[in-house]
Structure 1
Amino acid sequence: MKQEIKNMIEQYNKIIIHRHENPDPDAIGSQAGLKALIQENYPDKQVFAVGEEEESLTFLAKMDEIDEEMYEGSLVIVCDTANLERVDDKRYERGEALIKIDHHPEVEEYGDVSWVDINSSSVSEMVYELYNAWKQDGMSLSSEVARLLFAGIVGDTGRFRHPNTTEKTFRIAAELTNYTFSRPDLFNEMEKSSLSLKRLEGYVLSNAEILDSGAGYIKLTSSLLTSYDVTSREAGGIINTLSTLEGLKAWVFFVEEEEIIRVRLRSKGPAVNKIASRYNGGGHELAAGAKVSSWNEADQLLAELEEACHKG
């Protein structure tokens, strides 16, 4: 599979890399890391990373702005996205060929080539595996690529605390630390928070509901977010505020936007990705995302989460 991906990359002069909407460090790290890896080893190719800019992650990489015409005769690679609905920038459909690289449980099969490894901690880890397979052909990896992939691995493993952290994850992370980039600077950027976001965390701790089943939840309306001067994306990023609460089995953040309510699910045991898949989403057993169209639908999802906690 790794060789097949390399063969396809070598066939195309234009390569456009996508990832999922509302990106996290692994989405950006794998996307931008793969872009830089290809650019550095195939300098004659045009390689772009696209999607809506996430201000809090611009310290990792900024997105490229390209015209639709660029997709003509191009290879599109989608990183870290289990289903097509979650791909950021729907112009991916305009490419000539499509590669999927993902580590989530399969939600939707897509792509002319699809490499899915649910045992990998992150797609950033998978991109390093690509390099590891290709280096016998003379491919090199720069310190910038190492920085991006390390950030993606750190993000998706919760600083190596989550159960998806394996011996392979530690080995790859150790190899990446041999490159020249500042880990303290990277950690500082990843953990940086505004005063307004910290105040919202205080609101969450004061107002979150913990049910007898062990399910927890908080509803963050758009008017509330406006009053705290926090965006919906920033609010979704503080979901682990509740993670250390005693007796909590799983929890959900409902974050209202203009037309939808975004759902962030986390768990210490009950599988939440199956719930998310029934509400326009997906993800891992212990971490998933979804969308609902009303607060009534949010309550339905919460009832399913409570039932899963009772069973779990």
Structure 2
Amino acid sequence: MKLTEQIVAKIKAYKCIIIHRHVRPDPDAYGSQIGLAKIIQASFPEKEVFVVGDDDPGLAFLAITEDIPDDYYQDALVIICDTANKARISDQRYVQAKEVIKIDHHPEVDSYGDISWVNTEASSTSEMIYELVKNESHQGLQLTSEVAKFLYAGIIGDTGRFLFPSTTEKTFRYAAELVSYEFDRPQLYNDLYKTSENIAHLKGYILQNFTVTPNGVSAIKITKDILKRYDLTSEQTSKLVGVLGDIEGIKAWVIFVEEGDLIRVRLRSKGPVINEIAAEFNGGGHPLASGATIYDWKDSEAVINELEKVCQAF
């Protein structure tokens, strides 16, 4: 039995299904999680389906998750979308579920779940959810216009609007099929990519202050004082992670953002593999797009030094 068939069989077997995603969610985390929830609700209206996890205010236009009691997990099936390692699962109550399914496209960090469907060749987990409903429609899975919007949002988010190397012929084909459904694509783009004045001003600060080393490494440090100056939170700066991507001479870059007692490390690359560096610093992700966490500014130099090594070797 194929993995997609096994997943649908488990969905059919449970009355209560709870869907999780990763902490600090991005459009693909939302798109795959909410898209799957709405597929199940449309296909099997008699089932109770819940979505949980910490919300990102910048993506609240997509959906708001639910606060559910612990006892809901007792006889529930949990499906975890877009999350490679256990520590990054938002809402650790998933361990209380009767069974767990993992659906993800990241390189595997932790092996977990009674069923694990990991496809690193997929552009996004939202692409995988579309493939699930496409391949198993004969089992009653239904795709609505609302579902199409969520899955399309996840795909364009994780492919950088189809610019990243993870975009394949299949990605374009699936995206074309999704846009055949009726949803407001211009409004979706506007909601995903609109920029506040504060963010625009910080973008100007980054572009005025970046440097590039001979090996093609660029690093920007955004301290609490800089966040205060521009009246921004650490979460809001996530929209700027790609701002250095078009600059000639940069092979890989890192943006450090101070947040409480820790420092977020946002790594991006045009070729050198960086997810192994992220794994050394409490993180992980894709070969060209990863995140990590450090707890002292002196550790930022260690991250930069590792970036220098992989860029020099590239």
TM-score (norm 2): 0.97
Task: Give the aligned partner of residue 163 of structure 1.
Answer: 165
User: d(CA) in 2 for partners of 1:93 and 1:222?
Assistant: 35
Aligned pairs for 1:1-312 (under 5 A) are 1-312=3-314
User: d(CA) in 1 for partners of 2:178 and 2:92?
Assistant: 33
User: d(CA) in 2 for partners of 1:268 and 1:144?
Assistant: 34
Alpha carbons 2:40, 2:141 under 8 Å: kept: no
User: d(CA) in 2 for partners of 1:68 and 1:204?
Assistant: 44
User: Alignment RMSD, CA only?
Assistant: 0.9
Number of equivalent positions: 312
Alpha-carbon deviation of 1:139? Answer: 2.3
Secondary structure of 1:256's counterpart equals: strand
Secondary structure of 2:53's counterpart equals: coil
What is the letter of the counterpart of residue 284 of structure 1? H
Secondary structure of 1:264's counterpart equals: strand
What is the letter of the counterpart of residue 303 of structure 1? N
User: d(CA) in 2 for partners of 1:160 and 1:210?
Assistant: 26
Alpha-carbon deviation of 1:92? Answer: 1.4
User: d(CA) in 2 for partners of 1:298 and 1:79?
Assistant: 30
Residues 128-160 of structure 1, C-alpha deviation per residue, up to 9 Å, x if partnerless? 011012111232210000000000000011111
Alpha carbons 2:252, 2:268 under 8 Å: kept: yes
What is the letter of the counterpart of residue 17 of structure 1? I
Q: 1:138–1:96: structure 2 CA closer, same or farther, 3 Å change rule?
A: closer
Residues 239-297 of structure 1, C-alpha deviation per residue, up to 9 Å, x if partnerless? 11111111000000111111211111100010000111111111111101111111122
Alpha carbons 1:14, 1:73 under 8 Å: kept: yes
What is the letter of the counterpart of residue 245 of structure 1? I
Alpha-carbon deviation of 1:125? Answer: 0.3
Residues 225-251 of structure 1, C-alpha deviation per residue, up to 9 Å, x if partnerless? 122111111112211111111100000
What is the letter of the counterpart of residue 184 of structure 1? P
Structure 1 alignment gaps of length 5 or more: none
Residues 44-85 of structure 1, C-alpha deviation per residue, up to 9 Å, x if partnerless? 111111111111111111111111121111111111111011
What is the letter of the counterpart of residue 7 of structure 1? A
Secondary structure of 1:288's counterpart equals: strand
Secondary structure of 1:290's counterpart equals: strand
Alpha-carbon deviation of 1:101? Answer: 0.4
Alpha carbons 2:24, 2:55 under 8 Å: kept: no
User: d(CA) in 1 for partners of 2:132 and 2:244?
Assistant: 36
Give the stretch that moved more between structures: 147-156 or 46-55.
46-55
Alpha-carbon deviation of 1:223? Answer: 2.4
Percent of residue pairs identical = 50
User: d(CA) in 2 for partners of 1:264 and 1:187?
Assistant: 23
User: d(CA) in 2 for partners of 1:176 and 1:224?
Assistant: 41
Alpha carbons 1:236, 1:253 under 8 Å: kept: no
